[in-house]
Structure 1
Amino acid sequence: MTTRRAEIGLADWVRVLAELPAITDSERALVARCLGLQTDKVENTYNDQPTRGAWQRNARKPEVRTDTPTDKPTSAPATESRPELPDEILPIRIEKLPNTLEAGLAPPLPAEIANQEPLELGASNHPPVPRLSLFPQRTVRGLLAASVAQPSGGYDLDMPRLIRASVQCQPLRSLPLLPRFSTQQGCQLLLDFSEALVPWWDDMRDLIQQFHAVLGETACPVYEFTDNPRHAVRWTETGEQPWQAIAGKPVVIASDLGQVRTIRHEVRPGLSVWRDFALHCRRWQIPVIVLTPLGHKRCPKELAHLMSIIDWNSQTRASDVKRLINHKQGIRL
């Protein structure tokens, strides 16, 4: 059995010191040193001054020192004394230089600059923006050829017609041949240069070049009119030449068929004018093809069975034109 050793605590020392008889200060200091205590006076080394540069929560802002204006007037700086001029001023010799811009004295401009035409005031230096043609270049050749192509005797047998005749026991005087379409006959191009079609005048000039590229200038004479297509004329070396119907030669007309009205109330050809023209061409067995920028839906329905009306825009295809022309001529392919 182990017994716990007695421990002397701080309270025990205090009680013993209180019970001791009166002792001197030196004895009290000796006893305190034995206990590990210090009875000597400790000097206060605490510095109340704040550390320079250390952050203080309640730091005072430095006072702004303002200079009070003084009542004394400020004196202007002393001006430097000007040097005295001499009694006699030296004469100044001025030499007049020759004017090099006078005629004959200016150096000549380079040839590449002198030969250039002067720029007009207000003229734009930007290149012109290319116009889009109503008939695209990639389809215009086949489209125009399909509009004026005329059937002629071909070389291939019309097998469906031959079989139909054999089954029905119909005698044939000649073998049926498929038609062959050709543009050798060319066409007559009539352009409506009335005031109502001013927005399409440039397109009509493009149409002339496109037809000449397909048929040639000789096979495609160009006529102009403003009110009645029968009054169309062309200008040749011998003078003005009126339009005349040529049997079997197609007529292509670029017009709105009198549908556009102008502010000046220009006299436009009515329905009767176009009907008379179409009947006149039918008597000569001339197919009439109309290119209209307004679309066939805005054209009079009474003219649809007398002429082939084609939409003059980029959506038209050569297959559509060929189907329309064959339907008007009663040809089945």
Structure 2
Amino acid sequence: MAAARLLTPVAVEPLPVREWRAAALPVAGPVRRGTPPPYEPLLARRSSAAMVQTAVARVVDDGEPDIPRIVRRLARGHALARLPLRPVATLRFGAQILVDLGVGMEPFARDQGELVAQIRAVVGREHTRARYFEDSPLRGVGEEGRWSWGPYTPPTRGTRVLVLSDLGTGGPVAHPRRSGREEWAELTRRLGRAGCRVTAFVPCPPHRLPAWAAELMDIVPWDRHTTVGQVTRRLRTPDRY
């Protein structure tokens, strides 16, 4: 096969001279990062302690003698088999905190830690127990890493159970381990038989929650705009002991 023959140029035209009308961009300097905004917890700091106390407190007939009730019973000729006492709110029954570590709650990990610390400060460390789970407590809970998790056991009678979870509403749409009504209904049934009530702190607007959530447990919107009055209204009729 013969080698290709080089072509001989017949003319050479000079390149046109272009005049740039815009100045060249300056050389990029070092990146300056601004100061990140201060951390703000989901519950307002000025009222978070009052909200926690409202959510955990139980009403018991353990106050001063209820003189009006005593007088009415004696006036009707009824014997006092038991001295009527005034109802008072107490934290002595303690609290169990169920902290959801599922994918939907990952953006709120710091808020969970802040709220757990706030509950311990209000109720007392000796009366507060935190248990961690992923998506549903019925799949296993524990105080430390996942390697230590085991079956969920309800606390002693009268303990308030606080759930820090999105109740299966967050995370990717195709999340395969998303919890649902059946698991939360079973949890509330077990706690009801054990004499414990459930209050869920949920970091999403109430309209995003399914209707069954409010039917199963007390729901507190976990938001900066939540007030003590709203917490009180969302709690059902207080237990009496």
Shorter-chain TM-score: what band? 0.7 to 0.9
* Map of 1:211 onto structure 2: 119
Q: 145, 148, 160: which is aligned to 2:56?
A: 148
Structure 1 residue ranges (4+ consecutive) displaced by more than 6 angstroms after TM superposition: 166-169
Q: 183, 186, 189: which is aligned to 1:279?
A: 189
Q: Distance in 1 between matches of 2:100 and 2:52?
A: 18
Contact (CA 8 Å) 1:195, 1:266: kept in 2 or not?
Answer: no
CA distances 1:37-65 after superposition (whole Å, capped 9, x unpaired) = xxxxxxxxxxxxxxxxxxxxxxxxxxxxx
Q: Distance in 2 between matches of 1:211 and 1:301?
A: 27
Alpha-carbon shift at residue 194 of structure 1 (Å): 1.0
Tell me which amino acid in the other structure corresponds to 1:235: E
CA distances 1:47-86 after superposition (whole Å, capped 9, x unpaired) = xxxxxxxxxxxxxxxxxxxxxxxxxxxxxxxxxxxxxxxx
SS in 1 for 2:148: strand
Matches within 5 A, 1:1-333: 126-158=34-66, 161=69, 172-230=80-138, 231-235=140-144, 240=148, 242=150, 243-247=152-156, 248-325=158-235, 327-329=237-239
Q: Distance in 2 between matches of 1:203 and 1:186?
A: 21
Q: Distance in 2 between matches of 1:187 and 1:138?
A: 22
Looking at secondary structure, tell me which structure has more strand per residue. 2
> Alignment identity in percent?
25
Q: Distance in 2 between matches of 1:291 and 1:168?
A: 46
* Alignment CA distance shift 1:178-1:295 (3 Å): farther
Tell me which amino acid in the other structure corresponds to 2:131: Y
Tell me which amino acid in the other structure corresponds to 1:276: E
- When the two chains are superposed, the root-mean-square deviation of aligned CA atoms in Å is 2.9
Is 164-173 or 146-155 further displaced after alignment?
164-173
* Alignment CA distance shift 1:138-1:260 (3 Å): same
Q: Distance in 2 between matches of 1:322 and 1:169?
A: 38
* Alignment CA distance shift 1:199-1:246 (3 Å): same
SS in 1 for 2:53: helix
SS in 2 for 1:155: strand
SS in 2 for 1:235: coil
Is 184-193 or 302-311 further displaced after alignment?
302-311
SS in 2 for 1:130: coil
* Alignment CA distance shift 1:155-1:205 (3 Å): closer
After TM superposition, the score normalised by the length of structure 1 is 0.54
Contact (CA 8 Å) 1:295, 1:310: kept in 2 or not?
Answer: no
In terms of Rg, which structure is larger?
1
Uncovered stretches (5+) of structure 1, i.e. residues with no partner:
1-121
Contact (CA 8 Å) 1:141, 1:210: kept in 2 or not?
Answer: yes
SS in 1 for 2:126: coil
Is 193-202 or 266-275 further displaced after alignment?
193-202
Q: Distance in 2 between matches of 1:328 and 1:213?
A: 22
* Alignment CA distance shift 1:127-1:161 (3 Å): same
Alpha-carbon shift at residue 148 of structure 1 (Å): 0.8
After TM superposition, the score normalised by the length of structure 2 is 0.73
* Alignment CA distance shift 1:157-1:132 (3 Å): same
Q: Distance in 1 between matches of 2:33 and 2:189?
A: 52
Tell me which amino acid in the other structure corresponds to 2:40: L
> How many pairs does the alignment contain?
208
Uncovered stretches (5+) of structure 2, i.e. residues with no partner:
1-29
Tell me which amino acid in the other structure corresponds to 1:293: P
